[in-house]
Every structure is written in C-alpha cells, then in structure tokens.
Amino acid sequence: MLYKHTKILLCHSSRMNVVWIILCCLLCFGVCSDGLSGNGSSRPAVVNVGAIFTFDSTIGRVAKIAIEEAVKDINSNSSILHGTKLVVKFQNSNCSGFFGMIGALKFMETDVVAVIGPQSSVVAHTISHVANELQVPFLSFAATDPTLSSLQFPYFLRTTQSDLYQMTAIAEVIEYYAWKEVIAIYIDDDYGRNGVSALDDALATRRCRISYKAGISPGVTVTRGDVMDVLVKVALMESRVIVLHAYPALGFMVLSVAHYLGMMGDGYVWISTDWLTSVLDSSPPLPQDTMDTMQGVLVLRQHTPDSENKRAFSSRWNKLTGGLLGLNSYAFHAYDTVWLVAHAIDSFFNQGGTISFSNDTKLKSVEGSNLHLEAMSIFDGGPLLLKNLLQSDFVGLTGPFKFSPEKSLIRPAYDIINVIGTGVRRVGYWSNYSGLSILPPETLYSRQPNRSSANQKLYSVVWPGNNVQKPRGWVFPNNGKQLRIGVPIRVSYREFVSQIPGTNNFKGFCIDVFIAAVNLLPYAVPHQFVPYGNGRENPSYTDMVRLITAGKFDGVVGDIAIVTNRTRVVDFTQPYAASGLVVVAPFQKLNSGGWAFLRPFSAQMWGVITICFLFVGMVVWILEHRINDEFRGPPKQQLITILWFSLSTLFFAHRENTVSTLGRMVLIIWLFVVLIINSSYTASLTSILTVQQLYSPINGIESLKETDEPIGFQVGSFAERYLEETGIPKSRLVALGSPEEYATALQRGSSKGGVAAVVDERPYVELFLSNQCKFRIVGQEFTKSGWGFAFPRDSPLAVDLSTAILTLSENGDLQRIHDKWLARSACSLDNAELESDRLHLRSFSGLFLICGIACFVALLIYFIQILQKFRRTSKAEVVSNGQSTSRSKRLQTLLSLIDEKSDKSNRGSKRRKIDRSVSDDNIENDLERDSRWRESQVPSQNEVH
C-alpha cells in the first residue's frame, strides 16, 4: 500500500509540494502500523469499498439509503470486521453509460478492494473487463442482463436475480394461460436485447414464440411520436399478448401511448418486467391518470420472504424517509450486498490476507499518455477475496444469501402482481423450484418439487378493460388481409369438395362443416378459398399441406386425413369425420346350390371326421371282438360291423353293446366328441341357410400382402405411401381416379388387367358401395385416423375450430350436414355376411386329441395283456414239447390269441343262456299256475243247475 501511494506521489511531484508528500507518507505509515494489530493478521483501520450507480434513479434513491444504513449497522457491530471501519465511496453515474464507466475507472486508481455496482448492465459489460484485469470484484445489485456470464467475467458477481429467471417466470405464465405467441417491446440496448433473447429461449422450450420484437432507442431523445409509430405496428399484429421490458421512464411512456391508442382495452394482455414494481413500491401513490394507463397489467417483483429482520428494517425505513420513499426489492439486495462484502473481508483478514497492490506490467506500454492508466494497479488479494465472496453464506433481508455453483443466487423467485384500481394485488408466486403457486416459495422448499400442470395455480386476474375472463390472446390482424385457405380441386367424390364452375367458391360436405364451425366462433374470420390442383386428377394432399409451412396457405380445408407425416409440420383441428383404410373386393354368394349342406365344415374337417369314425370303430372292434359275440363272425361280417358301428354312433343308434372296460372308456369319450360335432354342425348349417353368405378369396390387408396381385388406390390419397411402407412393391399398385374406374378394375380382376382389390379410406368406400352392390369391404379397418382442417403449428385458430367442431357434433349439426351430402340408398344386402364362418379343424383339435389319446392308451393296455398271455402260452408249449417253437409258429400263435374267443366270453355266454332258460321255465310255471286258478273259480255245470 505504501509503495502504491509513493508511486502516485512521484508521478504528480511536479504538482505537489514536499509538505503534502511528507503528510501522505506519515498517513500511510500510520495506517500500516494500525493494521498490524488485528486477530493474527494485518487488519487496517479502514477498508475502502466503492459504490457506483445513478443517485436520482428509481433504484438509486433507495439503494443509496440502504447502503448507508448497512455501513452503519456493520461498523456498529463488533462481531464483524473487529475494529476495522468499512468506508463506502460513492460515484454517481448520472444515468449515463459513459459517466458510469468513468466513475468505475476512477475507483481503479484508489485503494478500493471491491465495488458495489454498477447499476447499469451496459456499464457492467465494459467495466467487467477492467475488473478481470485488476482483480477487483464488482458486486451489482441491479444489473440483471443474463449475458453477464460468470465464465466471461469471473470478477463480476450479481447480487440480485438474473433476467434469465424473470423471463422463465414470464414464459411459464404465458404457458399457464395457453397463449402461443407474444410481442416483445423492449429498450434496444444490452439490457433489453439480452433480456428478450432469454424470453425467446424460454418460450421456445414451451412451444411458444415471440411473433414480433419492437425495439425502442435507449436515447433520451425518444418522443411520444416514436413510441406511437412502434405501437401502431404492434396493433396490426395478430398477437394481443405484449411483454414490456424497459426502463421506468420509457416504460411509462409506452403505457401512456398504448392507453391513448386503445391498446389497454378488452382483449389485450400486458406483462411488465420488474421495472414497474420498483417504481410502484418505492414511489408514493402515483397520480390517478398514471394508474389508469396500466390497469390490468401483470407485473413481476423479485420475491423477498417475510421475516422479523425485514419488518424491523421496513419500520426503520419509514422513520428515515418519513414515508415519502418506499422500499423496493433492489433496496433489500443493496443492503445485503454491503453485508456480503463485510463478511468476505472479515474472512479475508482471518485467513491472513493483506491489502496490497502491484503494478500491471501490461499498462507500461501506455505510459506517458494523458490518461494516467499507469495509476491503476492490480489488487493482490483479489482472488482470495473473490473466493470468500462466493463462499459466503448468511441470512439477509432477502432471505438465505448464498451463491450456487453457477455463481447465481440460490432460490430465485418472483411475486406476480396485478395492477388494479389505485394499487396492486398479488395473484401468485413463481419459483425456480416449483413453478407457479399461490403459496409462498419458502413454504414449498421442504416438499418435493412438483411442476405438474395440475399443481400450477394462480389467483384470478383482472385484465385490461376490467375483464375477469382470460383474454384469447390473439385476433386477426386488422390490416385488411384475408386468410388464404387452400382447397383441393377434386375430380372424384365431389360430394366432399367441389369447385363451383367459374368461381373460386367451393361446396360439399367438408366446406359446409368448415363454414358452420367458423360461424360458431366469437369473432370474424376473414378468409378466401384458394383452389389447388390441375382439375384433371386429385392433387397430392401431402404436398398441399406442406405449402402451409412455405407460407402459401394460411390453412387447408378439405378431406385431409390426419396422418403422422402431416402432423409433423402442421397442426390439425379435432377430426370432424372418422376415417381409416379398408379393403374393397368382389364377392360371390355361397348359400345357393344343392351341396350347401357340406359347407358347415371345411374339407379338411370332413376328412378328419371320416378318418376318426373309422379309427374309433377299428379300436372298439379290437378291444371287443375277443370277448363280445356281437363283434365276431366271418371277416366280411366283422368289416360290416365296424363300418356300421362307426357311422351309427353319429346318431347315437349303435346296436352293439360294449363289454370291456377299455372299450366303454373309448366309446364314452368318442360319443362326447360326436355330440359336440353334431351340435356345431347343426348350428352352422342353420346359420348358412338363414343368413346370406358371401365369399371372397381376399380376407383383408394381410391376405393381399401374401399375393402378388395388383392393388388399386385413389389418386392423391396417402394409401399409396402406406402400402409401400408396409412392404408392398410399387409395381403392384395401380392408381385409380374415380369410382367408375374402381368398379371397372374390380370387375375385370387381376387376370384381365384389373385389380384384385382396392384400398381406400372408409368415407370414400362407403359412398362407392352405396350404389355398387357387387363389392364389399373385406376384413377390418387397418388404420385409425380422421379428417381435419390443417393450420400452421401452434395456430390458435386450430384450437378454437376444434372447440367449434365438438359443438357441431354435440348439437347434431354435424350429422345433419353428413346426411345432406352423403346419405345414399344402400344395396339390399345389409344382412349379408362376407366370408362364411366355416368351422375349421383348429376349432376341434382339442377334442380330437383327447379322443386319440384315449384310443392309444386303450390299445396299449390291450396289447400288453395280449403279450402277457402270449408269453405264458409260449412257455407252456415249450414245457409240453420239450423244445422251442419256430418264429413262424410263434407268430401264428400270437395271431390266434388275438382272434381267439376268450373263455371268459364263453362262460359269460353260457351264463346268459342258462339265465334265459331259467327265466323261460319260470314264466311257463307261472302261466300254468294261473290257468289252474282260473279253472278252480269256474263252477261246474251240475252245480249251476
């Protein structure tokens, strides 16, 4: 420090006398000696801090008092600085960027360790380069320009909230009210341009945008006429949501001119940044005529949480100012900024820091100039002081005062204010933590952040024009320009859209729906229809929709299908007609002819049933013929028995009884299968004979893909692209231009140069089939879409027309328009079913499987029993003969055992014969006894006489 003062005195030795040199040296020596006593480090008696801002500005008037009061509080507090006196030297920038820069440079020639300010963002951009070079921290409580980045300017600290957050809050308010376009009026300097740029970015992330930017010169020569020229252009724009980002003097002029032009009336939305609340909070009540110019305006204010310290300071402030000057948020930030500097300097001394300066070698090249730049020196303790500033953590009047890793104040928040009558009303809060809320942000920090749309809330607002209903936010520009609505020139299906010959007017179902929807809107929609197409074939609707993005059309009306590739570039209204691709094909009737009784089952099903009948009959014969006389006899008789038994089970009329357990098990399962088959056949045949059945070899889009036959589509329809994307070669696609071409191509068929089927949207197909009874829709609708009107992205007209279309649907007008244009006499085959519901094998596979398993198990058990008996018989023959038999004899023995009648069967047969004989004898004895009894009851002839 002594070295610096000595150098300054030598540079100006020609102008100063020796006495002053000695006094300065003694003064410096005294300061240094005093600084040696202090908590283990060299603490000077005085620490100088600079402050630069405009004293007579809205912010400057309150900031000067707040800074002075903070210095008093710090110097009277023994717990901080520990005897070192904090001195703040003021420089007035006089509302000038140039003088602000000069004042900041003057501080660089003195021994200030930090500068509070500058107030202006323009000055901050310039002086921050000097701060970086000389390592002197600048702490601004009012420069909100978001481009004052801590990366570019590490020695610039913002002790207030950046406009980055303020513009985010405005963007979320705009999103909350569902507005899509805004107009920005701003002061055309670094503060205004960069703030509006931040707003544009914040809106873009929410699918909103600034439709027009109106910059106003920052000079003092701006007149009401200049502002009026800007606002007249704004009044001709479509958007009615206006964001005003300016300085107080210019801002009040804009509001006054807007009120004069009628732009503060019903339908307008004005949102002001916090320049307006800084005036409203710090000034005494404004004149009524000034308040009238801002009725209904939404304003933002930096949020400062309520606290005991804040209330005490406000009470003290009223005593200081006599109630003539109010407190705004910038006063609180200025007060806390001084405390931030004091805490950082105290930590600086505690860490052994000393206040010393050194020459900047880069300034030697400019020595000898009249600027005396060599007087500016580098603050050696600047890096340590900057570190302490960033690490400060205390609770001030603005709440917790702490920097984030991005060197911004933590917990940015704003109050949302509504100007009403002679005062203001708070309608909610915004915080970077939880968005819009009616609760103070500090009450939400203890909860989990919830940014869902349902959680975003604000109180009701009184808008310009004393309107409590949310303004629509846009109107049609009052510049005589009509909307250019593109309409396709169709050459087929003209019931939907058709041009009136010799005019640019159109008629049809789609046109009537559009006109009816427009008539329901609460405002006029001046428009003109613009034909699109050559009149020889239907135009490409995709190309027509893309012309909206090119600016040729303001909208497209017609039978426009809402498909993915179109929704990527435009917005559609609510669908007014259901649509989707279907397949149309020829058909033939199937329930005529003498062989209709065979149709309930497919050919495969008939074959499997026949095989199963024979197989079951064979299985039952194998299981029964050894023990059941009804299944024995000559081979011819046994074959007849098998066939008869198999077929008779179909009617449950089989005469033969089963005796074996295995045979009965197989028969029970088979009869259950026959019952199901019989019932299904009866039901299907009944349906075939009572309901008209149609047949087509094509079952839908999937069956079309598996063939190589040509497929027709309508010219201009999106069906062509869809079919290509599903893998169908373009060589198979045939363009058809009219319903007559549809009918001709389908009647010819693929073998005669026609098509196998036509793929088109359902509304066209229904109109085509209303008088073409030789074709039908096959399969299901394989796409789901609808018809809507197309408009540019984020167009508010699309939203309003969607509401109108829903109203048409609910009140029945949409159906009446449909019946007017599309109601036709349908063909007389409404009760016909295309493609008979035949019963296929897969429907009964489970039954046949169960039956087959039962037969297999029964046969397995049977043959195991036969083999066991064969093994015993072979052993007995070996014992009796004394030698083993040959292979042929053993096979003969096995076959004889299979065909041999079982003894059990003989015994059973004899027992049945004996029982039958005994039964006959008993009957004869009973008859004889009965005859004798009758004879005994008849008196003889002699007795009668």
399 pairs with which residues across the strands? 396
Tell me the whole-structure pTM to 2 decimals.
0.68
Kindly state the DSSP code that residue 612 receives in the 8-state scheme: H
Q: How far apart are the first and last CA of the chain?
A: 181
Closest CA to 190 of 281, 99, 131, 126: 126
Which residue is associated with the tokens 């805004």?
A: 182
Closest CA to 417 of 266, 295, 245, 251: 295
State the pLDDT at residue 133. Answer: 81
Cβ atoms of 749 and 756 closer than 8 Å: yes
Please, which residues have CB within 8 angstroms of residue 425's CB and are 6 or more apart in sequence? 417, 418, 459
C-alpha distances in angstroms, 754 versus 461, 746, 834? 67, 6, 21
Percent of the chain with pLDDT over 70: 81
- Joined together, the tokens standing for residue 383 give 């890096």
Distance CA 481, CA 525 (A): 11
For domain 483-579+797-821, the CATH class is alpha beta
Q: Which CATH number fits domain 163-309+412-455: 3.40.50.2300, 1.10.10.10, 3.40.50.720, 3.40.50.1400?
A: 3.40.50.2300
Distance CA 814, CA 83 (A): 85
pLDDT digits (tens, 9 = 90+) for 493-542: 999 999 998 888 999 999 999 999 999 998 888 899 999 998 889 999 99
**One-letter amino acid of 178:** A
Ranges of residues in the chain whose predicted pLDDT is under 50:
1-41, 828-836, 904-919, 922-923, 927, 933, 936-945
H or E element in which residue 751 lies: none
Distance CA 878, CA 875 (A): 5
**One-letter amino acid of 581:** L
Distance CA 223, CA 275 (A): 20
Q: Locate the domains of the chain by residue range.
A: 46-159+325-361+374-405, 163-309+412-455, 483-579+797-821, 584-589+694-784, 596-684
State the pLDDT at residue 35. Answer: 37
3-class SS at 193?
Answer: helix
Distance CA 575, CA 556 (A): 14
Beta strands in 669-756, from DSSP E residues, in sequence order: 693-695, 711-714, 733-736
Buried b (16+ CB within 10 A) or exposed e, 915-943: eeeeeeeeeeeeeeeeeeeeeeeeeeeee
Distance CA 571, CA 123 (A): 45
State the pLDDT at residue 129. Answer: 81
Do the domains 163-309+412-455 and 46-159+325-361+374-405 match in fold?
A: yes
User: What is the sign of the dihedral through the CA atoms of 809, 815, 817 and 818?
Assistant: positive
CATH superfamily of 584-589+694-784: Periplasmic binding protein-like II (3.40.190.10)
Beta strands in 101-226, from DSSP E residues, in sequence order: 115-116, 138-140, 156-158, 181-187, 209-216
State the CATH architecture for 46-159+325-361+374-405: 3-Layer(aba) Sandwich (3.40)
3-class SS at 175?
Answer: helix
Pairing of β 571-572 and β 833-834 = unpaired
